[in-house]
Amino acid sequence: MYAYLGTRRIRLDPAKSKGKGCEADIFDIGNDTAVKIFKPPDHPDFDGVPAEQQAARERIRIHQTKLPALMKFSGKLPARVILPSELVRDDPNGALVGYAMPFIRNAEVLLRYGDRTFREAGVPNDQVRRIFLDLHQAVLGIHHSGIVIGDFNDLNVLVRGEETFVVDTDSCQFDPYLARMFTARFVDPMKIDPKARSIMLAKPYDEYSDWYAYAVMLWQSLLFVGPYGGVYRPKDPARRMPHDLRPLRRITVFHPEVLYPKPAVHFRVLSDDLLQYFHRVFERDERGDFPCSLLESLEWKRCSCGTVHARAVCPTCNTPGLVKETIRVKGNVSAEEILKTKGVILHAAYQRGKLLFLYYEDGRFKREDGTTVMQGELDPLMRFRASGARTLIGKGGRVATVAAHSQPEHLSVDTFGNLPLFDAIGERRFWVKGGRLMTDGPLGPEEIGAVLEDQTVFWAGEKFGFGFYRASNLSVAFVFEPHRNGINDSVRLPRFTGALIDSTAVFADERVWFFAALEERGKTAHRCFVIRRDGTLEAEADAFPGDGSWLSTIRGKSAVGKSLFVATDEGIVRLEVDAGAISVVRQFPDTEPFVDESTHLFVDPKGIYAVRKQTVTLLSIS
């Protein structure tokens, strides 16, 4: 595929794709420049969806005049608001199909800062405070120029260090150009039709709706849950409602009939001033510029009990009725604590009948036997894997294999965004380099098969592996055998149409459970696909985050045979695949005190290992 920057012909190489959303694809064209190309009506992602095809036509029609008008704001906005630098056409004198812009390298989307695992790997609350102070200045500058961001969300803010960059400015609102897209988690409920059966934008955005979205992003970056998170379980069945409609009724996590998510940080850690502000915004519909002083005066402390808070006294130590003892037995479940660390557990895996894990404590990275792998600071961009007694540590395009009494071995690998592409099972490592999926062989590295460079994500299981790549109009899923050359790319998954937020996979001997989180048409959707070892799609399911189902989160699950074990806030459940359907076949409510929906499970003949942020517990169920 080709396009034109002025008179210069550029190739839009799928291997250089750097982002994919509902409306457009982004390509790296070199010289620190990226181009955003809007999907035409005949794009494969719109096949069979006439409404989306018509929306694409209308979007491209409006951009013929909107993009040139947007470029006139150059020099009038804060430097880190990313505007089009040049327009892209289908031929030198043809229609506009996109635009060029500076390529922001080594940045993460703000969404990652609402992920507890990412944050606890080296991003303290005070750094988040400074990030939002920086973003505050950007929003003020945007508003001062006469622009409203509109669909302001945590995917159109990039973070590098403590600097923020506002991207996707083509969707902003200014002059006659109204912003029409929305993201359900961040749209101001005062702009939504209160009588609609689904969320529909009914009023134009304004500056206050931008500040509302800012408040939501700050809340979830500090507490790891949205203001309308948790599960609403009213005593009166007539008051039940779909999760998405709760903002219309202002049913927030403050509501007494909302079950607050166990993995989230409780809002009681916030200062009184900040907490009262959030209460007024989310429940009382107060609107206005976010008071910068609330962030400037915010001071975080760590109590001796481990709680990080911004109050005069620790809310944990001073919460009446708080149960502090550890429950060891509940009903037919007994719990044996294998590890308790004052640090954080970074990675866990079950290999060859043994639980392996890596944790960080007192400046040291330690394995399950207490041996130190290395010393240093936590880094949220590091990725870890256990390979028997060895530990793999990756960042960017480099992976170090660390073993006791030997020098680290280094590999160069491809990346998927900032994610280094490698995995390990037992003593065998897997990695992608130069678009080739590699593994260890008896005489050195061996190639398994060709994949798409810097676009592939994969996982390895004991018996087989699974992966996929997705760029521009390409979408390929595959399985592979660890000891054989070649990949089977005949896996037929439904086409993903939105931006991929997260993905993971867990294996049993003959099937893999593949999970993906996608941003689709303003909502985050969770998808699960069960794939046989031969590449056959056996079953699928979908859900929404925070809906209280087994698919409310996508990580931490354990597969055995036809079963999948999942931790929820109400205990462990077991699911099975039968006749193409996935269903819950058993619940273990007595496990509730020992798990939450962020717990990682590993099934063992002795029981189920439950790995949480600071503990490893073996649960025995009689």
Task: Give the separation between CA 535 and CA 477, rounded to whole angstroms.
Answer: 9
355 pairs with which residues across the strands?
Answer: 350
pLDDT digits (tens, 9 = 90+) for 393-414: 999 999 999 998 889 999 999 9
Query: Do 125 and 269 lie in a common domain?
Result: yes
**CATH code for the domain in which residue 33 is found:** 3.30.200.20
Kindly state whether residue 580 falls inside one of the protein's structural domains: no
Residue-level pLDDT at 336 = 93
Cα 381 from chain centroid (whole Å)? 13
Q: What is the CA radius of gyration of the chain?
A: 25
Q: What b/e sequence results for 482-492 when a residue is b if at least 16 CB atoms lie within 10 Å of its CB, and e otherwise?
A: beeeebbbebe
CB-based contacts of 89: which residues, under 8 Å, 6+ apart?
A: 3, 4, 95, 96, 97
Query: What is the pLDDT averaged over residues 101-116?
Result: 94
Query: Do 174 and 58 lie in a common domain?
Result: no
Residue 546 has pLDDT above 90, yes or no: no
Kindly state whether residue 77 falls inside one of the protein's structural domains: yes
Kindly state whether residue 496 falls inside one of the protein's structural domains: no
Kindly state whether residue 93 falls inside one of the protein's structural domains: yes
Query: Would you place residue 319 in the very low, low, confident or very high pLDDT band (cuts 50, 70, 90)?
Result: low
Helix (H, G, I), strand (E, B) or coil at 222: helix
Tell me which residue has tokens 């592996």.
465
Percent residues over pLDDT 90 in the chain:
79
Residue-level pLDDT at 147 = 97
Lowest pLDDT segment from 2-11, 479-488, 607-616: 2-11
Query: Do 310 and 220 lie in a common domain?
Result: yes
**CATH code for the domain in which residue 290 is found:** 1.10.510.10
Query: What is the pLDDT averaged over residues 344-364?
Result: 95
Phi/psi of residue 294, nearest 5 degrees: -65, -35
Query: What is the pLDDT averaged over residues 223-244?
Result: 92
- Between residues 225 and 316, which one has the greater pLDDT? 225
Query: Do 91 and 127 lie in a common domain?
Result: no
* Three-state secondary structure readout of 459-480: EECCCCEEEEEEECCEEEEEEE
Residue-level pLDDT at 243 = 86
Residue-level pLDDT at 326 = 46
- Mean per-residue pLDDT of the chain: 92
Query: What is the pLDDT averaged over residues 366-373?
Result: 94
Query: Do 36 and 159 lie in a common domain?
Result: no
Among the candidates 324, 347, 372, a domain finishes at 324
Residue-level pLDDT at 100 = 95
Among the candidates 258, 292, 324, a domain finishes at 324
Query: Do 257 and 121 lie in a common domain?
Result: yes
Residue-level pLDDT at 325 = 39
Query: Would you place residue 48 in the very low, low, confident or very high pLDDT band (cuts 50, 70, 90)?
Result: confident
Percent residues over pLDDT 70 in the chain:
98
**Token pair of 239, please?**
């008051």
Kindly state whether residue 601 falls inside one of the protein's structural domains: no
Residue-level pLDDT at 499 = 85
Maximum C-alpha span of the chain: 74
Task: Give the separation between CA 57 and CA 73, rounded to whole angstroms.
Answer: 25
Residue-level pLDDT at 401 = 96
> Residue 287: left (phi > 0), alpha (psi -120 to 50), or beta?
beta
For helices 125-144 and 207-223, give the axis angle rounded to 10 degrees: 170
Query: Would you place residue 125 in the very low, low, confident or very high pLDDT band (cuts 50, 70, 90)?
Result: very high
Query: Do 42 and 160 lie in a common domain?
Result: no
Residue-level pLDDT at 157 = 97
CB-based contacts of 253: which residues, under 8 Å, 6+ apart?
A: 225, 227, 228, 229, 230, 260, 267
Helix (H, G, I), strand (E, B) or coil at 207: helix
Query: What is the pLDDT averaged over residues 592-596?
Result: 94
Kindly state whether residue 155 falls inside one of the protein's structural domains: yes
Taking CB atoms within 8 Å and a gap of at least 24, the contacts of 129-132 are 129/295, 129/298, 129/300, 130/162, 131/159, 131/162, 131/164, 131/221, 132/214, 132/217, 132/218, 132/221, 132/295
Kindly state whether residue 116 falls inside one of the protein's structural domains: yes
Query: Would you place residue 324 in the very low, low, confident or very high pLDDT band (cuts 50, 70, 90)?
Result: very low
Query: Would you place residue 321 in the very low, low, confident or very high pLDDT band (cuts 50, 70, 90)?
Result: very low
Task: Give the separation between CA 498 and CA 525, rounded to whole angstroms.
Answer: 9
Is the Cβ–Cβ distance between 169 and 104 less than 8 Å? no
Query: What is the pLDDT averaged over residues 100-125?
Result: 94
Kindly state whether residue 440 falls inside one of the protein's structural domains: no
Residue-level pLDDT at 364 = 95
User: How many structural domains is the chain composed of?
Assistant: 2
Lowest pLDDT segment from 330-334, 363-367, 506-510, 597-601: 330-334
Residue-level pLDDT at 329 = 79
Query: Do 64 and 147 lie in a common domain?
Result: no
Residue-level pLDDT at 297 = 94
Residue-level pLDDT at 400 = 97
102 pairs with which residues across the strands?
Answer: 33
Query: Do 68 and 203 lie in a common domain?
Result: no
Measure CA of the first residue to CA of the last residue in the chain; give whole Å.
Answer: 61
Query: What is the pLDDT averaged over residues 499-507?
Result: 94
Among the candidates 103, 119, 145, a domain finishes at 103
Residue-level pLDDT at 422 = 97
Residue-level pLDDT at 52 = 87
**Boundaries of domain holding 271:** 109-324
Query: What is the pLDDT averaged over residues 286-292?
Result: 96
Query: Do 69 and 146 lie in a common domain?
Result: no
pLDDT digits (tens, 9 = 90+) for 420-435: 999 999 999 999 999 9
Query: Do 99 and 124 lie in a common domain?
Result: no
Query: Do 153 and 189 lie in a common domain?
Result: yes
